Amino acid sequence: MYGGLDFGTSSCSIGISAHDKPTLLPLEGESVRLPSAMYTIRPSVETEEIDELELKNRVNKAKIDQARKAEAAKNKNEEIKKLSDAAIESRERGLMRRESAERAYQKYSNQSISEALFANTEDYFGEEAIRLHLKDAHSGYFVKSPKSFIGSQLKREDIELFSEVITRILAHIKYTAEGKIGKEIKDVVLGRPVNFHGARGLLGNKQAISILERSAIAAGFNEIEFLMEPIAAALDFERHVSKELVALVLDAGGGTTDCSMVRLGSARGKSEDRSKDVLGYAGDRVGGSDLDMKLALRKIMPHFGKDSLLKSGLPVPANLFWKAVAVNNVNAQREFLGENTGEEIARYIAQSADKNKLRRLQVLHDGKLSFRLSRSAELAKIYLSDRDLINLPLRYIEEDFVIPISRADLSDAIERELGTFVSLMKEAERQAGAAPDVVYVTGGTAKSPVVEEWIRSNYRDIDLVLGDFYESVTAGLATWAGRIFA
């Protein structure tokens, strides 16, 4: 059995194909989408057994200390409460238990996620992982959207970490999907963006492909092929096309946005080589997570002290707030959650005339709530799909803390990213040397009316077709798997 797997920034899905008819498989309840998240709970803290010989030595020392204090008190005509031998032993036994628990706690609190992954830990995926992290961010390790990181500049230990996380997510998807159909999925077509998120260009793309391939093999897949995600979306659209046409496909995903100009038609659908039908393509490392980050930075962070002035008249450094919301940047999150940043925030609170706002930033830091804030920004974006104004509750930061956000606020915050979407579409057109017959839009980010309106304003004279925002790419990958593996 073979399948197509979209390992997305925001969510993952897998499908199989029979006679060019793709079927997506449920991965979480009845949902065919699994959020790209994993939560690894720290090992339970097991204290050491009481060493009876050490206890005996401590009791004897405590008795001697008590006798000395009693003698000193006698010489000063003072009263001292004398403890019985049983009371001394009970006290020392309790102290030893607390010391043991403290050592165990320090051991696990200083443990890295890499060490925890290979310890006696338990993994959770998707919505369950998100729920556990939101419930208690301190009892485990949480990784969201690992695809966002694998094209970036990474240390060797980070490459090993993300490879292991992705392996576990892919293995969970494979196991769950196979359970639904009662067959092993041996071969897979994996989607890939034109350019992975990161600033390393071709080197970053090569690194990301290597990580995904080795992780897929480790997860149990035999043969792995890659297909660009906008081309996969075009193949799914092609199943509904009755005549030959040129489609400009926009796939606005969670971490990247990709465009392709593809010649489509029912007569071409059986071909296993579509390279000549791809007339142009372009992609950039900007997606839904970047929109969430910009909304958080521009419209939420001012309520946490961004743009506030210190008593010196200087503003609190803006970089501090960027690090707070940059959940798709490993180094930024490490720095924001580190002790140095906590001390830095405390200094700014002492120097600020607007202490209350910066105290919210302190709560964000101390509670490790960056992802939760990003989740709130994402929900704001989603709610604004069918409303002009929302009141965003942030009561996990402060009681009765609510921020009003409008659709106009969202449009203003992401104006630069909207411009990037259209620039990519124009670049694909330029490479093709022709105008499209139709614009086909897919990807969860494109679901926002703000994005749709922006595209329509730039392509007024061309038909705009809205595909399945979340399933088109996976359906196309499964369709392609059916052609090349069958």
**DSSP string covering 106-170:** HHHHT--HHHHHTSS-EEEEHHHHHHHHHH-TTSEEEEE-GGGTTTS---HHHHHHHHHHHHHHH
Q: What pLDDT, on the 0 to 100 scale, is given for residue 119? A: 57
Average pLDDT over residues 162-186: 94
d(Cα 197, Cα 215) in Å, to the nearest integer?
18
d(Cα 2, Cα 15) in Å, to the nearest integer?
9
- Res 15 pLDDT > 60: yes
d(Cα 278, Cα 246) in Å, to the nearest integer?
10
Q: What pLDDT, on the 0 to 100 scale, is given for residue 153? A: 85
d(Cα 28, Cα 292) in Å, to the nearest integer?
24
Least confident of 107-121, 295-309, 331-345, 444-458: 107-121
Residue showing tokens 């071409």: 268
Average pLDDT over residues 312-331: 89
Average pLDDT over residues 178-201: 88
β-strand pairing of 34-35 with 21-24: unpaired
Residue showing tokens 């509904």: 240
Domain 2-39+125-241+468-485: top CATH class: alpha beta
In the chain, CATH 3.30.420.40 sits at 2-39+125-241+468-485
- Res 70 pLDDT > 90: no
What pairs with residue 447 in β-bridges?
Answer: none
Residue 143 banded pLDDT, cuts 50, 70, 90? confident
Under 8 Å CB-to-CB from 299, ≥6 apart: which residues?
Answer: 403, 405, 409, 410, 413
For residue 321, which of 350, 353, 344 has the smallest C-alpha distance?
344
Render pLDDT for 86-142 as a digit per residue (tens, 0 to 9).
888 888 887 877 776 666 555 555 445 555 565 556 889 999 999 988 887 777 788
Average pLDDT over residues 394-411: 94
Average pLDDT over residues 56-71: 82
Average pLDDT over residues 221-241: 91
Least confident of 103-112, 125-134, 214-223, 441-450: 103-112
Query: What is the chain's alpha carbon radius of gyration, rounded to the nearest angstrom?
Result: 28
Least confident of 93-97, 223-227, 340-344: 93-97
Average pLDDT over residues 435-457: 90
Report yes or no: 256 and 411 within 8 Å, Cβ to Cβ. no
Residue showing tokens 């929302």: 390
- Res 269 pLDDT > 70: no
Report yes or no: 9 and 256 within 8 Å, Cβ to Cβ. yes
Under 8 Å CB-to-CB from 263, ≥6 apart: which residues?
Answer: 244, 245, 246, 277, 279
Percent of the chain with pLDDT over 70: 92
- Res 482 pLDDT > 70: yes
Report yes or no: 215 and 163 within 8 Å, Cβ to Cβ. yes
Q: What pLDDT, on the 0 to 100 scale, is given for residue 19? A: 74
Q: What pLDDT, on the 0 to 100 scale, is given for residue 35? A: 93
Average pLDDT over residues 139-159: 86
Mean pLDDT of the chain: 87
What is the DSSP annotation of 233-283?
HHHHHHTT--S-EEEEEEEE-SS-EEEEEEEE-GGGTT-S--GGGEEEEEE
For residue 250, which of 410, 469, 407 has the smallest C-alpha distance?
469
- Res 287 pLDDT > 90: no
Comparing 273 with 349, which gets the higher pLDDT?
349
Q: What pLDDT, on the 0 to 100 scale, is given for residue 87? A: 80
Number of other residues whose CB lies within 10 A of the CB of residue 123: 17
Please state the pTM of the whole predicted model. 0.75
Q: What pLDDT, on the 0 to 100 scale, is given for residue 139? A: 74
Residue type at 304 in one-letter notation: F
